[in-house]
């Protein structure tokens, strides 16, 4: 029993705290922009299910905390369905009911009767609140930790690997890949990971010579203590610092930290979409996609890693806080990306419908919405099942079905 409680504290609690925090910020984005446009709001809920505590403010908004901490939601007055995009018939019915209750003009306070550009901004505010949160968290991290750079210097080359076949040697300095400059070891690693089975031309400085070496990354099975077991593209060389000039560190002022945070966020978004694109064209298997179990494992992994050092409690607490902020920033970026996908049940799907309405001057027909939402639910359910299957394989379950081994 004690062991179970310990595992729950390490894996489940950090996951729920991070998820609820990020989803609350997402919904707060919707809420604040909706309120700025004068939209009537019924409820803002943190969590789902039965209410633990609630209060209603002077504007009639019920603020509540529910018992199931898996996110939250904001409910606009007059929502007819989960889509928040009723068709012409539904709008006419809602309008007549609102006028009957509040008189002519009362419908102007309702989300569905706001101009389409306002509705689009309200919907987009959720994902962009996630990006804003990530930028704030990354700015804090870079302000506290500063900027560390490790040059892409080859430290070790494993025998029988693509790097060895290409002729890499220890002390080689990688300066470019396919003509794109490389200044940090992380740049090289990220490029290799997203280039499985692609020929890469490395520009290398070896002493006073400049060479071009060609290697093709291959997938190898790795067991990462944080992300779990997965096939990852590698070339078989380890990068790191071998001399003093290979490592640099500097503290960042607030403006520099914001810029570094923005660069990191843009790089994460770009890398994510590149990975998704490679999945669609069949160049990636998608086994690095994580579902709830994978995120929970990662949350537990970073928690254990943060407190694994021998240090005073205050230092461990600070390290845990900074690690948690970094993890929350990454998850927040991921949530923003997912919600902008053009799937009808997500914010991106709403924006797609509003785009049609802006051009056609009328809402999407009810039949099209119904089909769109069925397809969207199927796509989302399929994505979740696929990600959960990945999670189970990374946790070394179901090996008998031919999973990762």
| pLDDT grade for 405, boundaries at 50, 70 and 90 | very low
pLDDT of 213 reads: 95
Going along the chain from its start, the domains and CATH numbers come out as 147-250 (2.30.42.10)
Check 27, 147, 184, 370 and give the catalytic one: 27
Spatial separation of the C-alpha atoms in residues 105 and 100, rounded to whole Å? 11
110-166 tens-digit pLDDT: 888 889 999 999 999 999 999 999 999 999 989 988 888 899 999 999 999 999 999
How much is the pTM?
0.81
Q: How do residues 160-187 score in pLDDT, each as one tens digit?
A: 999 999 999 999 999 999 999 999 999 9
Question: How many Cβ atoms are within 10 Å of 22's Cβ, its own excluded?
Answer: 23
Q: Catalytic residue at 284? A: no
Q: What is the pLDDT of residues 19-35, one digit of tens each?
A: 889 999 999 999 999 99
């Amino acid at each position: 029993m004690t062991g179970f409680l310990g595992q729950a504290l390490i894996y489940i609690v950090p996951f729920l705290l991070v998820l609820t925090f990020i989803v609350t910020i997402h919904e707060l984005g919707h809420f604040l922009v909706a309120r700025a446009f004068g939209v009537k709001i019924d409820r803002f809920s943190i969590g789902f299910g039965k209410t633990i505590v609630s209060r209603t403010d002077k504007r009639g908004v019920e603020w509540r905390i529910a018992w199931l901490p898996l996110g939250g939601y904001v409910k606009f007055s007059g929502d007819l369905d989960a889509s928040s995009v009723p068709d012409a018939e539904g709008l006419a019915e809602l309008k007549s009911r609102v006028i009957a209750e509040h008189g002519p003009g009362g419908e102007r306070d309702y989300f569905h009767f706001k101009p389409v550009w306002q509705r689009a901004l309200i919907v987009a505010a959720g994902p962009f609140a996630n990006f804003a949160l990530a930028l704030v968290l990354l700015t804090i991290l870079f302000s506290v930790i500063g900027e560390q750079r490790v040059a892409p210097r080859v430290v070790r080359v494993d025998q029988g690997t693509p790097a060895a076949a290409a002729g890499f040697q220890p002390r080689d300095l990688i300066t470019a890949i396919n003509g794109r400059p490389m200044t940090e070891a992380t740049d090289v690693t990220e490029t290799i990971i997203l280039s499985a089975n692609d020929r890469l031309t490395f520009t290398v400085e070896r002493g006073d010579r400049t060479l071009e070496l060609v290697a093709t990354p291959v997938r190898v099975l790795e067991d990462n203590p944080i992300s779990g077991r997965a096939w990852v593209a590698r070339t078989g060389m380890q990068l790191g610092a071998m001399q003093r000039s290979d490592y640099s560190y500097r503290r960042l002022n607030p403006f520099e930290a914001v810029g570094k945070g923005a660069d990191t966020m843009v790089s994460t978004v770009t890398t994510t979409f590149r990975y998704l694109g490679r999945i669609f064209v069949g160049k990636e298997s998608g086994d690095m996609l994580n579902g709830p179990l994978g995120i929970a494992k990662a949350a537990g992994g970073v928690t254990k890693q943060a407190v694994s050092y021998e240090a005073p409690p205050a230092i461990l607490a600070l390290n845990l806080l900074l690690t948690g902020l970094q993890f929350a920033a990454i998850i927040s970026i991921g949530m923003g990306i997912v919600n902008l996908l053009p799937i009808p049940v997500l914010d991106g799907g709403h924006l797609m419908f509003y785009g049609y309405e802006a051009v056609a001057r009328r809402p999407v027909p009810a039949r099209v919405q119904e089909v769109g939402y069925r397809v969207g639910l199927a796509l989302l359910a399929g994505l979740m099942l696929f990600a959960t299957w990945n999670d189970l394989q990374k946790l070394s379950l179901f090996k008998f079905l031919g999973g990762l081994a």
